[in-house]
Amino acid sequence: MTALSSIQTPRVVAARLSESLSKAPRQLLIGGKHVDALSGRTFATTNPATGEELCQVAHAGPEDVDLAVKAARRAFEDPAWRRMSAMDRSMLLYRLADLIERDAHELAVLECLDNGKPASLTRLVEIEGSIKTFRYFAGWPSKFGGETLPVSPRGGLQILNYTTREPVGVAALIVPWNYPMSMAAWKIAPAVAAGCAVVLKPAEQTPLTALRLAELALEAGFPAGIINVVTGFGDAGAALVEHPGVDKVAFTGSTEVGKAIVRASTGNLKKVSLELGGKSPQIVLPDADLSAAAASIAQGIFFNQGQTCTAGSRLYAHEAVYDELVEAIAGHARSLKIGNGLDEDVNFGPLISEEQWNQVSGYVEIGVNEGARVLTGGARPSGLDNGYFFEPTILGDAQAGMRVVREEIFGPVLSALSWKDADQLIAEANNSDFGLSAGIWTNDIKSAHRIAGAVKAGSVWINCFNLVDPATPFGGFKQSGWGREHGRQAMELYSETKSVWVNLT
């Protein structure tokens, strides 16, 4: 990876991108063509660091969604795609990964402009992670198949029984604003590796890298209509979920919207996978390496300004180390450089929107009213009057019943609780509607495994936090979702199993 400092600075690239974006509204990408919304409507996407408009984007409605789904269906049923060899599908994914790598710096800056997270971190996490995801799933088409099974039919028949894995069809992919590029890659890569055609609906706050990714897919040689992008609001997403031409919906976002998607998908019993909310516990035992724990816990809650589904927002520190650990985490919080992510020394950017700023600020006020104490942060940083900046915040003296402990804030707010009884600790850690992830900090391997087995969470990190890889499944228990992203499990989400019986008698 080329260092940012060895090429054009993010601000230079941002100036060039901003000039290009301002020339004309960004269009939908349907059937391999850039098109305006049929209504002619557009909407503004803004820079969270300044609150200023970046550009206008086509505002898709249900009629545009219908065109995109039909384009995906035509592409899916085209023999050129259906009969494409597994190796040729792999090569398309490899070429797309190469093009993302070629444009990595520009994509990182574009994401910074639209989402607000620092360009250097975006390059490292989102862009490099997307490249890794596409290259990983590029290996699957030639390895994802059926099997022959020994069966025992009645009547003494000699039967050859085998299964095949077939693409589910047209997949609607709805992704959030917190990791726009990554989430698009997480869904597009396994879907097209399995042989599906897709319609991608990015969040209205962050449509720009999704559109650019689809353009790169065309450059890579993907047939027109295999990857379509519709930009818009909830009405476009609802139309996509309800459309009878969609066979599968994959959604990442809030639990409430996930429930609405399940209800809306029943018309033709679409397959649905959901990666939803979280309220992840960070459990610290008294024998833990407190220095390592403090650094990772701070990263786990403050990275991406806390706008992460797996954010370790509930700290359960043993009473013997609570004060020392919380102060160490607060030290990390105070050391973060807050500002516009185009500045290379910044490692903490703005929240995504004014709405999100108000939500985070409101939760801090709720926590204080419930008896929690602001140990650091809790307000807009001094000198950053524009944009949606909010300080990394720690709420001490938190108690199990508080809303800031039970509800997902989706911002840089850590609720710190102390514990002394291990059994009560597990009960409190599991006393949540969510079960996406958890962190455990201890040098006692027996305790680590015992707690990992007892915690209800889809991912458990021991002496580390928030590590993900396309090879290992990712998803949640309880109201954190259905199904798993990544690995073979993701390929299964986008496929059907067919059983074939051949009478050899």
Tokens of 283: 């459990």
> How many Cα atoms are found within 13 Å in the side-chain-facing hemisphere of 322?
17
Mean pLDDT along residues 2-26: 84
Mean per-residue pLDDT for 431-455? Answer: 97
pLDDT for 348 beyond 70: yes
Q: Which residue numbers are catalytic?
A: 275, 309
Q: What value does the mean pLDDT take over residues 403-418?
A: 98
- Residue 159 structure tokens: 């039967």
Q: What's the mean pLDDT in 461-485? A: 97
Average pLDDT, the chain: 96
Res 6 pLDDT > 60 = no
Structure tokens at 215: 């353009």
What value does the mean pLDDT take over residues 444-471? 97
Q: What is the pTM of this model?
A: 0.96
**Spatial CA neighbour of 275 closest among 462, 129, 493, 461:** 493
Query: What pLDDT is recorded for position 97?
Result: 98
Q: pLDDT (tens digit, 9 = 90+) per residue, 206-260? A: 999 999 999 999 999 999 999 999 999 999 999 999 999 999 999 999 999 999 9
- Mean pLDDT confidence for 294-309: 98
Confidence of residue 68 (pLDDT cuts 50, 70, 90): very high
**Residue 48, token pair as written in the block:** 């969270």
Q: Which residues contact 137 (CB under 8 A, 6 or more apart)?
A: 93, 189, 190, 193, 470, 490, 491
